[in-house]
Structure 1
Amino acid sequence: MGVLWDFIKSLATESFPPKSKFTIQDVPDLSGKVIIVTGGNSGLGFATSKVLVERGAKVYIATRNETKAKEAIEQITKETGKAPLFLKLDLADLDSIQGAANTFLSQETRLDVLYNSAGVMIPPKSEVTKQGYDLQFGVNVLGHFYLTKLLLPLLISTAKSSAEGKARIVTVSSGAHHMSNLTFSTFKDGPVRQKANEWVLYGQSKYGAVVLAKELARRYGGEGIVSLGMNPGNINTNLQKELPGWQATFVKMTIMNPILPNGITTHLWAGTAPETAEYNGKYLIPWARVGTPRADSQDEAVGKELWTWLEEQVTGR
């Protein structure tokens, strides 16, 4: 009953936010900053990337589809006069993630903000990652963990050399994290995963994202890393494209907010606002507020267990 009640309270708190005190116009000058936005070719990632570029940041749009990335870059360039860059990244393939990190590290000497923003929602259960992981957990958690792990040395060195002494990792979750916890036997394809409900698997992946953000804060906060988990809000994006029939209808009825102007405020607040540089380990909710995540997602034992599993998946690569 406690978890159900927390979920109901979270729906009320996170789904019907008050007017934002932080707006797009409040994003500071970002000249000299280098930022990666996974999934930056569409939806919230695209809109966020556009504002970051407008404010002077050097932005890498990290996605697997080069054609769509180039279309997004062309549109942003046309509208702002400034061009983001493309970084080829398939979060459903650990080899691609390693290649993307290597490419970025060969080109840049700093990384100020990593937005772990890309995600998948309720794909067909037949879809798994290249290495056989549940697609939602593989992309939303494991893929972002591996990318972050590979880029952490650069993030830490950037924090040490920057004027504010900080570098940020923003990991996008969802209010759906309140409806699941972690069932390790569903992380890879198999009998237990096949019996699991798709929505439970989705919630699990978003729960994992919150756990990952908190564990990053614990482990690296002392080295200048500011790790934040966040729920961007109930936003109408193409994330819902995989939903079938009645599920798509239900979600469209409950997703009331467009991407602009408020849909990206929590993204931008997390990654750019001076005050959020002091919020390491916090969970942010719409619009640009500190929220309360599911309590057990903050448990150090849960964080350590997930971290150990994640490390085991990529060790030796």
Structure 2
Amino acid sequence: MGIAWSMYTESYPPRSKFNVEDIPDLSGKVVIVTGGNTGIGKETAKALLLHNAKVYIGARSPEKAEEAIQDLKEQTGKEAFFLKLDLADLKSVKSGAEEYLSKEKELHILFNNAGVMVPPLDMLTTQGYDLQFGTNVLGHFYFTKLLLPILVSTAKASPSGNVRVVNTSSSASRVGKINFNTFKDSPARRKLSPTALYGQSKLGNVIFSNELARRYGDQGIISSSLNPGNIVTNLMRHLPNFVRKIVEFGIHPVTKGALTQLWAGTSDEGLKMNGKYLIPWARYGPQNPLGLDEALAKELWTWLDEQVQAV
């Protein structure tokens, strides 16, 4: 009853006390938004551009990214930059990070925003991982790992002594479980539904975020995770039509979906969010107890690190 009621209240949150207009001037700040070409990521990029940040949009498709960049330029008068990044391919993740490091000396905010939701069970990453866990968790872990040196150096040079990593999770994390035998394709994985695998990946986002906070908080990295809310985006494209219609009954516009992660990434309050879990709109909320299991977090971090050693 507790989790169900909490998830219900997150679906119908009170009016936000934080708004896009509250974002401070971000001149001189360099930001990456993964999945910034569409949905919540694009709305996040728009707000950042309007407040003078230099924004890189991490996306798979150059064509879709350029279309989004042009649209954002028309809306904001500012131009974002394309960063080729396919989170479902670890080699692409590596090349994307290397490209960024070849162009920039600082990184103030990393929005690990991209994700996939309930794709067909036979869809895997390039390296054979479950598409949802491989994209949502492993891809973002590796991308963040490769950017840790620049994040730490930026934090040291920053007046606040901090940078921020904002990890987009979901209310599905509240009911997620972790089964290491299902991260790659296996009989155990095939027994789970795409919905269960989605919940697992979103819980993985929270566990990773919390462990990043523990490991690098003393080096100036503020890591938080969040449920952006039930939002109208292309993320739901794999849902059956009848399920999508049910979900859309209680859904909110994409402008709302960006609020909570913008709060984490840009506000003064965000400096207090290391290891926190946030809920719509721009509030602190309860998280899955597994997200606070430090032994599980260390085990997951070790597993993730092992997967990327030979890339």
Specify the alignment match of 1:179 in structure 2. 175
296, 310, 316: which one pairs with 2:290?
296
Specify the alignment match of 1:273 in structure 2. 267
Matches within 5 A, 1:1-317: 5-254=1-250, 256-260=251-255, 262-317=256-311
**Alignment partners' CA distance in 1, 2:241 and 2:233:** 17
Amino acid at match of 1:79: Q
* Offset at residue 6 of structure 1 (A): 4.0
* Offset at residue 316 of structure 1 (A): 2.8
- Say if 1:6 and 1:178, in contact at 8 Å, map to a contact too: no
* Offset at residue 245 of structure 1 (A): 3.1
Runs of 4 or more off by more than 6 Å in structure 1? none
Task: Report the count of equivalent residues.
Answer: 311
The runs of 5 or more residues in structure 2 that have no matched partner are none
- Say if 2:109 and 2:265, in contact at 8 Å, map to a contact too: yes
- Say if 1:175 and 1:231, in contact at 8 Å, map to a contact too: yes
Partner deviation per Cα, 1:228-264 (whole Å, 9 max, x = no partner):
001001111110011123322222223x21112x221
**Alignment partners' CA distance in 1, 2:196 and 2:246:** 16
Amino acid at match of 1:60: Y
Over the matched positions of the two proteins, sequence identity in percent amounts to: 54
1:287 counterpart SS class: coil
**Alignment partners' CA distance in 2, 1:240 and 1:202:** 12
**Alignment partners' CA distance in 1, 2:27 and 2:217:** 24
Partner deviation per Cα, 1:78-137 (whole Å, 9 max, x = no partner):
111110000000000000000000000000000000000000000011110000000000
1:111 counterpart SS class: coil
2:41 counterpart SS class: helix
1:164 counterpart SS class: coil
- Say if 2:35 and 2:41, in contact at 8 Å, map to a contact too: yes
**Alignment partners' CA distance in 2, 1:265 and 1:197:** 30
Partner deviation per Cα, 1:138-175 (whole Å, 9 max, x = no partner):
01000000000000110000000001110000000000
Partner deviation per Cα, 1:254-278 (whole Å, 9 max, x = no partner):
3x21112x22110210100011112
Deviates more, 1:129-138 or 1:179-188: 179-188
* Offset at residue 180 of structure 1 (A): 1.6
Partner deviation per Cα, 1:268-296 (whole Å, 9 max, x = no partner):
10100011112100001100011110112
**Alignment partners' CA distance in 2, 1:34 and 1:98:** 19
- Say if 1:6 and 1:294, in contact at 8 Å, map to a contact too: no
**Alignment partners' CA distance in 1, 2:198 and 2:15:** 28
1:8 counterpart SS class: helix
- Say if 1:10 and 1:178, in contact at 8 Å, map to a contact too: no
- Say if 2:30 and 2:107, in contact at 8 Å, map to a contact too: yes
* Offset at residue 17 of structure 1 (A): 0.9
2:83 counterpart SS class: strand
**Alignment partners' CA distance in 2, 1:271 and 1:81:** 22
TM-score by length of 2: 0.98
2:79 counterpart SS class: coil
